[in-house]
Amino acid sequence: MRIFPESVSTYGHGIDQLFWLILIFVGTALVISYFILLYPIIKNHHSKVKRAKYITGEGKGPYSWILLALALLLGSDFVILFAEHHVWEDIENVPEQVDMRCCITGRQWNWIFTYPGPDGKLYTADDITIDETNSELHVPVNKNIVFDLKAKEVLHSFFVVNTRLKQDCIPGRTNTRWFNFTRTGKYDISCAEICGIAHSQMRNFIVVESQEDFDKYINDLYAKHSQTASN
């Protein structure tokens, strides 16, 4: 059994590795904790011991064990913090080189995709917006895709399991995030913040394809769009 679903973004691997790193610390701590919990319960059962020892723990002596344990815990906490910091920076900081820009807006209850029009700029008159249930967002593989996340009426949370990315979408705000897919395929976009009755049905797709396929898709889209516009 796999613990995590397949990771398809450049930073997804970092999240998975972080999990295993923390698990090493947590697992060790748990094993030690259960040992020190169970050992006295078994060894000091009242049938085996006549009288308990009088240890108040008020002085420094025996209490230094707890201080030692706390120091170890604090130390491992900061190791984790240090390790996770670059993963966090990697996900939260948008790279300078942008290959594609788009806008993803949550609404009750589907995701709206906005591609820049033929002028290549977002938020201009020729932008193409797709607002349908079950629609697909097409993106090229191995490219830095930067997107603005917005929401129409209520909070939503953009979640693509296979990229490991989750980001809340907040009405009135724009959160800019990015990803870079390492392989082609079709993945679910879900909403991870309760947004009303059909929260469970809020699902769209992200289709990752080669640059050629993507170019073809987007040109078809432009053509279809100009046709409807001229009609």
Partner 1 sequence: MTHAEHPQSFISKYIFSQDHKMIGTQYTITGLLMAALGGFLAYVFRYNLAWPGEHIPLFGDLAANQYNTFITCHGMIMVFWVAMPILLGGFGNFLIPVMIGADDMSFPKLNMLSYWTFLLSAIVLVASFFVPGGAFGGAWTMYPPLSASAYSNLHPHFFQALFTGAPMMILAVALEFTAILMGGINYVVTTINKRAPGLTAFRLPLTVWFINIATVIFMFSVGPLVAGAFMLLFDIVIGTGFYDPARGGDPILFQHLFWFFGHPEVYVLLLPSLGVLGEIIPVFARKPLFGYRKIIYLALLSAVLSVVVWAHHQFVAGIDPRMATFFSIGTILISIPFAGIFLSFIATLWGGRIKLTLPMMWALGFIALFLIGGMTGLFLGSNAFDIYAHDTYFVVAHFHYTLFPDIFFGFFAAFTYWFPKFTGRELNKGLGHVHFWLTFIFFNSTFFLLFFNGLGGQHRRINDYSLFSNINIEPYITFEKIATTSAILLILSQSLFLINLFISLRAGKRAERNPWNANTLEWLAPSPPPHGNFEHVPAVYRGAYEYSVPGVESDFIPQYAEQV
Which residue, among 134, 132, 128, 120, has the nearest Cα to 228 in the 3D structure?
A: 128
218/214 Cα distance (integer angstroms):
6
91/179 Cα distance (integer angstroms):
8
Should residue 33 be labelled a site residue for partner 1 when binding is judged by CB under 8 A? yes
Min dist. Cβ of residue 28 to partner 1 (A): 10
**Nearer to partner 1 among residue 36 and residue 223 (C-beta):** 36
Min dist. Cβ of residue 119 to partner 1 (A): 28
Q: How many residues interact with partner 1 (rule CB under 8 A)?
A: 84
Should residue 20 be labelled a site residue for partner 1 when binding is judged by CB under 8 A? no
**Nearer to partner 1 among residue 117 and residue 180 (C-beta):** 180
Should residue 230 be labelled a site residue for partner 1 when binding is judged by CB under 8 A? no
Should residue 118 be labelled a site residue for partner 1 when binding is judged by CB under 8 A? no
Min dist. Cβ of residue 209 to partner 1 (A): 18
Which residue, among 41, 3, 202, has the nearest Cα to 107 in the 3D structure?
A: 202
Min dist. Cβ of residue 198 to partner 1 (A): 7
Should residue 60 be labelled a site residue for partner 1 when binding is judged by CB under 8 A? no
**Nearer to partner 1 among residue 92 and residue 220 (C-beta):** 92
Q: How far is CA 90 from the centre of its chain?
A: 12
- Give the footprint of partner 1 on residues 181-220 (CB under 8 A): 187-188, 190-201, 203
Min dist. Cβ of residue 48 to partner 1 (A): 9
- Give the footprint of partner 1 on residues 146-185 (CB under 8 A): 153-155, 157, 159, 161-162, 164-168, 170-173, 175
**Nearer to partner 1 among residue 3 and residue 125 (C-beta):** 3
Should residue 112 be labelled a site residue for partner 1 when binding is judged by CB under 8 A? no
Task: Order the strands of the 145-151 sheet from edge to edge.
Answer: 128-130, 110-115, 100-107, 145-151, 175-179
Should residue 78 be labelled a site residue for partner 1 when binding is judged by CB under 8 A? yes
Provide DSSP, 18-42: HHHHHHHHHHHHHHHHHHHHHHHHH
Contacts of 11 (CB under 8 A, 6+ apart): 87, 90, 91, 163, 164, 165, 179
Should residue 22 be labelled a site residue for partner 1 when binding is judged by CB under 8 A? yes
Which residue, among 204, 166, 162, has the nearest Cα to 184 in the 3D structure?
A: 162
* Angle between helices 63-92 and 12-43 in degrees, nearest 10: 160
CB 144 within 8 A of CB 99: yes
